[in-house]
Structure 1
Amino acid sequence: MPVLRVHLDSDRSTARRVLQLHQEGKIHHESREAAREQVWRRGHTPAGDPTFVGITNGRRHVQLLYDVEVYSDTVL
């Protein structure tokens, strides 16, 4: 199944919190849902839950990175 990489703009404190939750085996539900919505906006249907990959190391603009499996035949 194809995988889309989703970049979500974030602030530093939220990015640290999401990373910490991930390291504890927990989920940041708001960013995961935002990743899912981003996939829908791109015209794809998610095939599963978004998987947190990490954060960018930007000084000003930090982004959360998620991988989302999508069905290959769903492009609008």
Structure 2
Amino acid sequence: MPLLRIHLDSDRTTARRVLQLHQAGRTHHESREAARAQVWRQGHTPAGDPVFIGITNGRRNVQLLYDVEVYSGAAG
């Protein structure tokens, strides 16, 4: 299944918290659900849970990165 890379705008504090949770084997549910919603907005159907990949190193604009498997074809 194809992967879709999702970029979510964030602030540095939240990004650090999401990264810490990921490193501890836990999930930041709010950002994961935001990534899922972004997939739907882009016209795709998620085939699984979003997988946290990391954060960008922007000085001003920090983004959370998620990969989401999507079904081939149009959204359902």
- Quote the sequence identity (%): 80
Work out the number of aligned pairs and report it: 76
Is residue 21 of structure 1 aligned with residue 3 of structure 2?
no
Deviation at 1:74, TM superposition (A): 2.2
Is the Cα–Cα contact under 8 Å of residues 39 and 46 in structure 2 kept in the other structure? yes
TM-score by length of structure 1 reads 0.97
Where does structure 1 lack aligned partners over 5 or more consecutive residues?
none
Superposed CA deviations along residues 44-69 of structure 1, whole A, max 9, x for unmatched, are 00000000000000000000000000
1:6-28 per-position Cα deviation (integer Å, ceiling 9, x unaligned): 00000000000000000000000
**DSSP 3-state at the match of 2:27:** coil
Q: In 2, Cα distance between the equivalents of 1:55 and 1:34?
A: 15
Query: What's the C-alpha RMSD, in Å, of the aligned pairs?
Result: 1.1
Residue 74 of structure 1 aligns to a residue in which SS? coil
Q: Which stretches of structure 1, 4 residues or longer, exceed 6 Å deviation after superposition?
A: none
Alignment-derived partner of residue 51 in structure 1: 51
Matched AA of 1:49: D
Which residue does 1:5 correspond to in 2?
5
SS at match of 1:59: coil
Distance 2:20 2:60 in 1: 20
